[in-house]
Structure 1
Amino acid sequence: MSLIPLLAAFLYGGIGSGLIVSAVEIVFSYYFHGPEVEWVALITVFLIPFILSFIYLSNWKHKSPKIMFPALLALICAFATFCVSLFDSFTNEIPFTLSSILIGLGYCVIHMLTMSMITFLIEHIKENLALRQEFQKSEKLNVLSELAASVAHEIRNPMTVARGFMQILNQSQVSEEKKRMYTAMVIEEIDRAQNIISDYLSLAKPQAEKLEKLDASTLSQKLANLINPYASLLNVQIAFEMESYLWILANGEKLMQCLVNLTKNGIEAMPDGGTLQIRGYKEKDLVRIEIRDNGIGMTHEQLERLGTPFYSTKQKGTGLGMMVSYRIIKTFGGTIDVTSQLNKGTCFVVTLPGAS
């Protein structure tokens, strides 16, 4: 019989797993060896109470080194099996030879070494899994603490500015014109803090509320209505080139939020005016939406940090808008790819799985 699976099952799987392995070994022995199954069953029934007693009394999982106890158990069980085989040979009047004794001792040593190696591998894997889980937990806590600190820092800035203006407004010598100007600035800073909180809450949502089949090409008119007024203020022309019937599975409001973020970034990247090209097309079973500007562009280092919390190439940007956009597209099973060159422009490519 094979002792290693039996011992491993009892040591790491418990009584239930051990009994199942024992039954399987007896069935296989009957199938392959026939009459010899009696000895296999006898040895198994004899070893099970001993194995359970050894495990219970040694309490080996709470001791070190853990390899020693399973190896010792394997050696004892193998030696017991060898003794039973010697007894069987004696009852059948089979003569003992030096080679048979050496083979039996080798059988015991091999079982001990094999069990040591298996125990080492199992314990090593368990330690690696525990370390990985601990590392992941630590990473999550670090990300959470950094994000919380960043949110607090970003909100503190407009609140500090607003508080300063409110202190000035409290002074009696401030003219009415300056009061109106300072009041507008206070409102602007409070709106900025509110936008930061809104972006953070959008980022915290685990997934889009509802996915539905929609035609991405039909969003172009709605997108144009939203961004054309803002583009006109910065002397930016919008050029649409959308194929028909670009069917995808997405949430219309969330996708529009993402496209508005990307197009707004493209418009603001052209302070001296220019053309923002928005192109939609189907490529095999994918739908791609390109948003290309001819603005100031970005360096390789800026591209690497794009989409991280509170990193923005804009003076008053928080970076949360881009991070939210990446998160939205990811929930739809898509990706956002960015290429850029300094003083030549940037191209965002939103890729989404097509829906039949």
Structure 2
Amino acid sequence: MEFQFERISLQVLMVLFPFVLFLVFANGKINDLKRKIIFGLICILSISLSLTFAIQLGEGKHLDLRFIPWYLSFMYGGNIVGFIVSSFYIIVRICMGGIGMFPAISVIIVGSIFIIRIQKQFFSWTLKKKLIFSSTFLLIASLLLPIIGSMMMTVSITSTNLSIYISYLLENVIVTWIVIYLIESQIEKTALQKEFQNAEKFNVIGQLAASVAHEIRNPMTSIRGFMQILQASNRLSRSEKEYIKICIEEVDRANSIIADYLALGKSQSNEVSKLDIIREINKAVRSLSTFATLNNVQLNFAQKLPIYLAGNSSRVQQLLINLIKNGIEASSGNGVIDIEVTADYKHVYISISDNGEGMSKESMENFGLPFYSTKEKGTGLGLMVSRQIIDEMDGNIQVNSTKGVGTVLTLTFPRIRKEV
């Protein structure tokens, strides 16, 4: 039997080419559903090409790189795409026949069960850990194929066979590293582009706030004052006074929007101190207690032991009030807001959960972006300010929401133990 160098080289090309094609033409230009469908088709194409140009070891005995697109279909396409790709492979392999199909299908089934169990942890890992785990997993899966095959059928081990097996195992490791590195690089590039676009939007809003907000706020204050004087007049009818009341409410709403613009225009405060976040949350809850009662919403927060982080008290209050107020508005009518604080040695975690209307996937992706709001009269500026404050404090926010069930906001900040 010859070494089949051409087949080994073709295997590398047959796996790499479809994925490179996908990364070039699906560069953030399609929605998530279409991306998964196309990715699944790419995995199927890659498996088909691998099987077509497989390394032949005898009748019904094939070596190829099918495990790589199969593995990627689960990790980057999701369970449904993974099941479809696995089913496609099993059907094709049965049609091809040969005694080699039994070890191949066995590895696919057992491997699928293991991948589903580990999948959720995969995206929390570093790139290095992803590469090491993926290469190790596929190396073991590829190694099991000839081991199970040798147990089921008599295969004479020759120097040529051994060199083919070694080349096959090395191929799996090298190609896995290349493909995952390319996919992760593309994901990182897309995230950086999105972050850069958001930063540009925030910069534009900040400049607009600095140049316009002060000039608008002064005449608005005068208008409100004269409206209040008119409202106190005895010469106006009840309906006219009601109209003036509406005008004052709208002026207040406009002033609130201007205040948000001004907050965006502010640079990071230098007055950073050691804050007891438990105390700050209690202050915010007291400030919003009346608003919560008017909206028939219960605020639950009962922690007392102090937990410290670095920040500016007024900015932290603005952040907490914005987020809790949004939860109250979303849960209006027999609503419940639960606030919890936990900490480990390095971080403080603040959880704000509600049982409101929840958010769609699009709303979660656009959470805190300029001028995006799910409210009828909302501007989205409050959440923009909130995200700005979180960034100032070197924190991050995670949004988990289910439509019709509720939303959980998890804030993470560095924990401090000494005076700042």
Where on the TM-score scale, by shorter chain, does this alignment land: which range? 0.5 to 0.7
CA distance in structure 2 between the partners assigned to 1:239 and 1:217 by the alignment:
13
CA distance in 1, matches of 2:280, 2:205: 37
The match for 1:144 among 188, 201, 204 is: 204
Whether the 8 Å CA contact 2:281–2:320 is kept in 1: the answer is no
- Where do residues 171-210 of structure 1 align in structure 2 (5 Å cutoff)? 176-210=237-271
Amino acid at match of 1:328: I
Question: Which runs of structure 2 are paired with 1:27-66 in the superposition (5 Å)?
Answer: none
Partner SS, residue 275 of structure 2: strand
Change (3 A) 1:146 1:222: closer
Of residues 345, 349, 352, the one that matches 2:410 is: 349
Q: Which shifted more, 299-308 or 203-212?
A: 203-212
1:268 maps to 329
Aligned counterparts of 1:142 and 1:191: Cα–Cα separation in 2: 24
Runs of 4+ more than 3 Å apart: 139-143, 145-149
1:143 Cα deviation from its structure 2 partner: 6.0
**1:340 maps to 2:401:** yes
Number of aligned positions between the proteins: 206
Q: Which amino acid aligns with 1:179?
A: E
Q: Distance in 2 between matches of 1:269 and 1:147?
A: 31
Task: String of CA shifts for 1:44-79, please: whole Å, max 9, x gaps.
Answer: xxxxxxxxxxxxxxxxxxxxxxxxxxxxxxxxxxxx
How far apart are 1:204 and its partner, in Å? 1.2
Verify the 8 A CA contact 1:243 1:280 in the aligned structure 2: no
Q: CA deviation at 1:141?
A: 8.5
Contact in 2 for aligned 1:298/1:346 (Cα 8 Å): yes
Aligned to 1:250: 311
- 1:347 counterpart SS class: strand
Choose from 269, 275, 280 the match for 2:341: 280
Q: Distance in 2 between matches of 1:243 and 1:285?
A: 20
Larger Rg: 1
Distance of aligned partners of 1:224 and 1:141 in 2 relative to their CA distance in 1, 3 Å threshold:
closer
Q: Could you list the per-position Cα deviations for residues 278-336 of structure 1 after superposition, in whole angstroms to 9, with x for gaps in the alignment? A: 10110331001110000000000011111011211111211110000110011011111
Cα distance in 2, alignment partners of residues 241 and 200 from structure 1: 33
SS in 2 for 1:317: coil
d(CA) in 1 for partners of 2:393 and 2:361?
Answer: 27
- CA offset at residue 243 of structure 1? 6.0
Counterparts of 1:202 and 1:238 in 2: how far apart (Å)? 26
Query: CA separation in 1, counterparts of 2:283 and 2:326?
Result: 18
Q: Select the residue among 276, 296, 300 that pairs with 2:361.
A: 300
Q: TM-score normalised to the size of structure 2?
A: 0.45
Question: In the TM superposition, what whole-angstrom CA distance separates every residue of 1:214-237 from its partner, at most 9, and x where no partner exists?
Answer: 211122321221111111111111
The secondary structure found in structure 2 opposite 1:255 is helix
- Corresponding residue number in structure 2 for 1:290: 351
1:158-177 superposed matches below 5 A:
176-177=237-238
Among residues 264, 280, 290, which one is paired with 1:219 in the alignment?
280
2:336 match: secondary structure: strand
Cα 1:252/1:179, change in 2 over 3 Å: same
Q: Aligned equivalents of 1:355 and 1:140: distance in 2? A: 32
- What is the root-mean-square deviation of aligned Cα atoms in Å? 3.2
Are the structure 2 counterparts of residues 192 and 214 from structure 1 closer, same or farther at C-alpha, using a change threshold of 3 Å? same
Does the CA contact (< 8 Å) of 1:242 and 1:281 recur in 2? Answer: no
Q: Secondary structure at the match of 2:301?
A: strand
Residue identity matched to 2:292: A
Q: Counterpart of 1:330 in structure 2: which amino acid?
A: D
Question: Retained in 2: the 8 A contact 1:282–1:288?
Answer: yes
Alignment TM-score, normalising by the size of structure 1: 0.52
1:286 to 1:233, Cα distance in 2 relative to 1, 3 A: same
Residue identity in the other structure for 1:246: I
CA, structure 1 residues 143+353, in 2 after alignment: closer, same or farther (shift >3 Å)? closer
Return the alpha-carbon distance in structure 2 between the equivalents of residues 342 and 215 of structure 1: 34
Q: Which amino acid aligns with 1:205?
A: K
Aligned 8 A contact 1:227 1:264 in 2: yes
How far apart are the structure 1 equivalents of 2:296 and 2:371?
A: 28
SS in structure 2 opposite 1:242? coil
Residue segments in structure 2 that go unaligned for 5+ positions in a row: 1-195
Query: CA offset at residue 147 of structure 1?
Result: 8.2
User: Is contact 1:241–1:280 with CA below 8 Å preserved after alignment?
Assistant: no
Sequence identity percentage? 39
Unaligned runs of 5+ in 1: 1-135
Kept after mapping to 1: 8 A contact 2:205/2:261: no
| 1-structure distance, mates of 2:206, 2:349 | 33
- SS for the counterpart of 1:352 is strand
Mapped to 1, the partners of 2:202 and 2:414 lie a distance apart of 33
Q: State the AA in 1 paired with 2:300.
A: A
